[in-house]
Structure formats: structure tokens, C-alpha cells
Structure 1
Amino acid sequence: MIPWLTPETSFPPLDTALTQPNGLLAAGGDLSPERLIEAYRCGIFPWFNQGDPILWWSPDPRMVLFPAELKISRSLRKTLKKANYTIRVDSAFKQVMQACAAPRKGHPGTWIHDEMLAAYAALHEMGWAHSIETWIEGELAGGLYGVAQGKMFFGESMFSRTTDASKVAFVHLVRYLERRGFKMIDCQMKTAHLASFGAREISRKEFSLKLKELVNYPERVDKWCVDYESLE
């Protein structure tokens, strides 16, 4: 059994999360900005289907990327050098989320439903959630979004409408975060795609220890406004 959260209850200890399914910690509660900020600060994220109760997760191990360990393939380096794209930040947050929510081949459903869209849009307006976008000929071609706290970035989802568009956005995100002194990017669950960038798994205990240090930096909560050149 997992605990049911009420508006008055806090999250249970991470070590009480289930092993099957991996990391399921609690259910219920709400998606208010205060609850989401608390969740990320503790290393917890929501993931649930529309119509189901809110489910909260903290998997073990945890997939992370340390910016200094970023790997860029030879083919992607060629794409990055073409510079036939423009990188924008926080200029189309809702569009990025909606694109991430679109059905994908082999996955007709989505966990990014209206409730999640509204919750993260609120975080974005408050300066906590951000989008990195790849634009080609004036069209949004790919991008990703996530949540920033202290010197920690929590990646949520990405999409691509043209080859490498999301990868280009991801590389620029990592470069941008590294310049701002961010030390770790949460990738949540292991995928071959993220591993190809240098992401790796660490234990939940190690993740929690690093997280406590990184989120306790003085807060810099604002919308990100940078141009393409500053991401070079």
C-alpha cells in the first residue's frame, strides 16, 4: 500500500517507495505550484494518466546527466555546425508542452494531459518551469521543458518534428545550464536516447544527497531570456 496524500500531508520518506513499480511513492494530493515545488525539491515527480489519481514517483536508480559529461555524436556535431536553426528560450512554453503531449508512434496515449498542462503553465508563469526551443524558418521544430531549482534542472519531456531538432535543443540546454553553474540534470528514467548523451544512473541515495546541496542555492526564479549567440 502507498500513502494517500491530502492537502495537509507531506510526502513520505523516499525509501518507502515501491520497488514494483519502481519508485511509486504516493497517490493523491494536488498539482498546485506549492506541491510541485515541494515535490521537485525532494526528488519526486508526478506521472499519471488522465482520469487516474495523481501518482508521485522517486525511482531507484535515477537517470541523471552531469553537464560536464555531455557527449555529442559526430553526426549531431555536424547538425549543430549547420546553424540553420534558431534557439529560443521560454518563448513558446505552452506550445512545447502541447507538442510533447502529441501522440507518438506506438504510444497513442499521453501523460501530459490538460491537468498537467495547466499545472506546469502556472509554474512557468512563476519562473520555475522553462522551455528550450529549436526554430527552423519561423516554425517550432523541436524542444523540451523542465523545472529549475537552485542549481538543479529537472527534465520532463522533449519532442521533435524534424531530424535532430530536440537533440539540438538539449545540447543548448546543457551548455546554458553549465554556464549558469547548474551541476546536475534529472532525466528520471533510463533510456538509450539519454544514455547516448552521457546520462547515467546513480542510486536514489546519491541523487538525494546531491539534490539537497543543489536546491539550497539562493533561488533565481525568473523567465529565461537569452538569444542564440549566448548559447554558443
Structure 2
Amino acid sequence: MSSESETTGDPAVAPTTTDATKQEKKPRSFLRELPILILVALVLSFLLQTFIARVYLIPSESMEPTLHGCAGCTGDRIVVEKIGYHFGEPQPGDVVVFRGPDSWSQDFVSTRSSNVVVRGAQELGSLVGLVPPDENDLVKRVIATGGQTVECCDEQGRILVDGTPLDEPYVVMDFPFVPGSQACDTALKSARCFGPVTVPDGHVWVMGDNRSNSADSRYHVGDDMQGTIPLDNVIGKAVFIALPPSRIGSISSPDIQGK
């Protein structure tokens, strides 16, 4: 009788433990995973741009020198934070980006292509932040909120909110105001003068820092909302200048009403 133990199967055919491990650990093809990675990146970008923050370029001189947008200069790209206003409302002194109401958007020209395919690609790119939104986005500073009365000017040419003058260190360029010769009660009236206007609840009164070159709430005071902006139109708060590198930094939102 043979003392050798019997074997089952053909050892030459059966896979070894090492071969099986190699098969299990074989990496998936990068080309197969690439579409998934791109899709995940696009979804994350969409969520970030829609609910958290987005970068905007709004070419306008109305916020000089706080934000650069002058003709011939490099405009500032600003980071607009969207989370805060889900838990609170804009405050006086905040720099906000908002969608212009109809009366503010009469001169707005769509940037979308007339070609259906190209327009579809532009809309898709807008969702993930690669293409600007096709809307009249504007940037101004909040001066008064719902229920407050705003007007200009006191004897020093300052804006009043509920009768109290504002401290506005960011205003560098403004219309002339000369007590006794060019004020709100003189024959030659200062262009600073407006109001009083009581801001409706759920709205804000906004103005550009460049007071002598800003089509803001003063300019639209004759419309159905007296120039105010509904809170539903406010996209978010401008908090940071991202580009150009020479101007990177935070955007000041001082407590202008001294509360």
C-alpha cells in the first residue's frame, strides 16, 4: 500500500493564493474612473456655487475705490458668500451682490448664444461656475433695511437713517455739498440730496461707494419699490477680493449706523 496521500484536482491548473490575491488587487483602469471623477467634481462645484460661495466679476465703476471696475482697469473678482443670509438678513454696511429688478435691468443684454446647442452648453457651464449667470448681477452697499427711513443730507452733507448721520469712511468720490451755496435748501441744489424714503419690510436700500457715479437706489427711487431691493433678489455678501493678486484681501463691512 502506498504511503503517499491522494490529491484532488490538477495542481498545474488550480490557481495559487498569490495569483488570486493579485487578481483581487488589480487596480481599475484610470480611464474607466475618469468620467466618475469628473461627474463628482461637477456635482461638488454645483453645490458649492449654488449654496456656499461663488466668484463674480461685475464690471462697474459704482464701487470705486472699494472694488475696481473702472474702464480700462483690471476688474476685481469677488468671492460672494451665500450661507450667512440663510440665517440672517443683510445689515447696513454690508457689500452685497443682487439680481437687478426689472426697472434696474432695462439696458441688460443677454450674453447667451442664439444657437440652441451653444446656449445649452453655456447654461450647463453656468451651473458649475464656468460661465457667468445670464442675469443682471449688481454690487452695492446696504445703507438701510426694512422699516428704516433714509435721506440726505444733514448740514455736513451726510446721509441720515432714522435721523442719525452715517459714518461712511469708504466714500471717496461724491457730489459737491457746500452749506449755504450748494446744499439741499439752496437754489443750486446738491446732487447728494434725496428722500426721505421709508424702506419697505423685506427690502434694503443700496448705494455705490462711488456716489458721484452710481445708478443705485437714488436713481430708481421713482419705480414701484422706491428704488429698494427685495431680499429675495440678494444673492449673498461680498467678502473677499480673489483677483487680481495685487488686490487680494477682505472687503470691509463697517457698522455704519453705530449700533
Query: TM-score, normalization: structure 2?
Result: 0.23
TM-score if structure 1 supplies the norm length?
A: 0.24
